[in-house]
Amino acid sequence: MVVVAEGLDRLFEALRRREFTVVGPTVRDGAIVYDELESAADLPTGWTDEQDGGHYRLERRDDEAVFGYVVGPHSWKRYLHPPFLRLWRAEKRDDGFQVARDEAPRKPYAFLGVRSCELHAIAIQDRVFLEGEHVDPIYRERRENAFIVAVNCGQAGGTCFCVSMNTGPKASQGFDLALTEVLEDGRHYFVVESGSDRGAELLAELGGSEATEVELTAAEVAVKNAVGQMGRSLETEGLKELLYRNYEHPRWDQVAERCLACTNCTMVCPTCFCSSVEDVSDLDGEGAERWRTWDSCFSGEFSYIHGGNVRQTVKSRYRQWMTHKLATWYDQFGSSGCVGCGRCITWCPVAIDITEEAAAIRLDDRPSEQ
């Protein structure tokens, strides 16, 4: 179907009628971030972003594109796997103590503006939290009730490499609705595809028209433009084995000299899932709480076990992160842990580039040193 730009307001209305909390992109603090939205007026219309290694700048577009930007510092794991989450609270009673979990009803989320690389990231976290013997009930509730409105990319950023990872720029599955924004010949519209029964039901309420061959072609051209604009690339053939046989490559020392171990790469990564749990108590001793917070393999305490830290150096921590992301993740979950969004490159203060590091090791493969 084709829906004109003004139809986004009807999309918001339809989602609100279904009692969704709409979360999507908006401009705040000099970046395009994800937050709760009230209407289409909150979207970053007319804005784009310039990204490169260690570089992010907002810029005005010369048109009124609504989704004319690439991914920012936030990912959808902020809502599916929150950075701070209270697991329970215990309060002292005369006969002992009482433990209460947070049982407040929560409106389901509708995620608006989910890119293809992010859909793949959500699918990866699904394998982590929903498959296997141990299922995360909090993630499951948020994930199963979420309504996803994807957006096919019409442009790529300076650090994007989703084409290399086969994760974009066009969404192929995992969405309820998918939008492709088209601006041409004075027209501004969205080609909208449904990916589920409830998506088709909602699409029928938007008041669009059936897409013509010309409009479908225009949407395909928009996505092809993004394919040709990738700012980075990563050779994935044999990458897992390459990293396995180069644990002692001198490149790890070179990147460690630059790395600040600030954890930015893991905080912005849409697939990193590590967390820590800690208990805190009230000053009066009458109550205590257990909180789960995001953690990072770059922090000094992350790999501490009784007797010492397994990874005492920045070199060992960066090697662990990159090798896990691009190699051992396959052994654990059957896929790469990287979706090519480029966030770790953009938001690294010293512009360390995972694609550059992999290419350097490939260029100077040293299997004989193992």
Domain count, the chain: 2
Q: What contacts 47, CB < 8 A, 6 or more positions away?
A: 27, 32, 58, 59, 60, 61, 68, 69
- Shared-domain flag, residues 258 and 199: no
Q: Is residue 234 part of a domain?
A: no
Q: Is residue 187 part of a domain?
A: yes
Q: Is residue 335 part of a domain?
A: yes
Cα angle at 62 between 65 and 29, to 5 degrees? 70
- Token reading at 200: 């088709």
- Shared-domain flag, residues 206 and 337: no
- What single string gives the DSSP state of each residue in 276-328? EEEEEE-TTSSEEEEEEEE--TTSTTTTEETTEES--SHHHHHHHHHHIIIII
Instruction: State whether residue 178 is helix, strand or coil.
Output: strand
Per-residue burial over 339-352, b = 16 or more CB atoms within 10 Å of its CB, e = otherwise: bbbbbbbbbbeeeb
User: How many other C-beta atoms are found inside a 10 Å radius of the C-beta of residue 307?
Assistant: 6
Long-range contact set of residues 22-25: C-beta below 8 Å, sequence gap at least 24: 22/109, 22/110, 22/112, 23/79, 23/109, 23/110, 23/111, 23/112, 24/111, 24/112, 24/113, 24/149, 25/67, 25/69, 25/72, 25/112, 25/113
Read off the amino acid at residue 192. Answer: V
Q: Is residue 168 part of a domain?
A: yes
Predicted pLDDT of residue 181: 97
**Beta-carbon-side half-sphere exposure of residue 213 (alpha carbons within 13 Å):** 0
Instruction: Give percent helix, percent strand, percent coil of the chain, each to the nearest 5.
Output: 30, 25, 45
- Shared-domain flag, residues 212 and 297: no
Long-range contact set of residues 185-194: C-beta below 8 Å, sequence gap at least 24: 188/4, 188/5, 188/64, 189/2, 189/3, 189/4, 189/5, 189/215, 190/2, 190/3, 190/4, 190/5, 190/7, 190/8, 191/1, 191/2, 191/215, 191/216, 191/218, 191/219, 192/1, 192/2, 192/3, 193/1
Q: How far apart, in whole angstroms, are the C-alpha atoms of residue 104 and residue 88?
A: 12
- Shared-domain flag, residues 177 and 305: no
Predicted pLDDT of residue 285: 87
- Token reading at 230: 């990738």
- Shared-domain flag, residues 177 and 250: no
- Shared-domain flag, residues 215 and 308: no
Of the three residues 201, 227, 253, the one that is the final residue of a domain is: 227
- Shared-domain flag, residues 141 and 202: yes
Q: Is residue 232 part of a domain?
A: no
User: How many other C-beta atoms are found inside a 10 Å radius of the C-beta of residue 330?
Assistant: 13
Q: What contacts 57, CB < 8 A, 6 or more positions away?
A: 49, 50
Q: Is residue 273 part of a domain?
A: yes
- Shared-domain flag, residues 166 and 307: no
- Shared-domain flag, residues 322 and 357: yes
Q: Is residue 88 part of a domain?
A: yes
Predicted pLDDT of residue 370: 46
Q: How far apart, in whole angstroms, are the C-alpha atoms of residue 190 and residue 46?
A: 16
| Polymer length in residues for the chain | 370
Domain range for residue 340? 239-369
Task: Kindly give the interhelix angle for 137-144 and 116-130, rounded to the nearest 10 degrees.
Answer: 140
Predicted pLDDT of residue 335: 92
Q: Is residue 96 part of a domain?
A: yes
Predicted pLDDT of residue 104: 59
| Residue ranges in the chain modelled with pLDDT below 70 | 103-105, 368-370
- Shared-domain flag, residues 257 and 287: yes
Please tell me the pTM assigned to this model.
0.94
- Shared-domain flag, residues 254 and 275: yes
Instruction: State whether residue 65 is helix, strand or coil.
Output: coil
Of the three residues 195, 227, 259, the one that is the final residue of a domain is: 227
- Shared-domain flag, residues 107 and 177: yes
Which residues in the chain belong to E strands, given as ranges?
A: 2-4, 21-28, 31-36, 47-52, 55-60, 84-93, 96-100, 109-114, 147-152, 177-184, 187-194, 275-281, 287-294, 304-305, 308-309
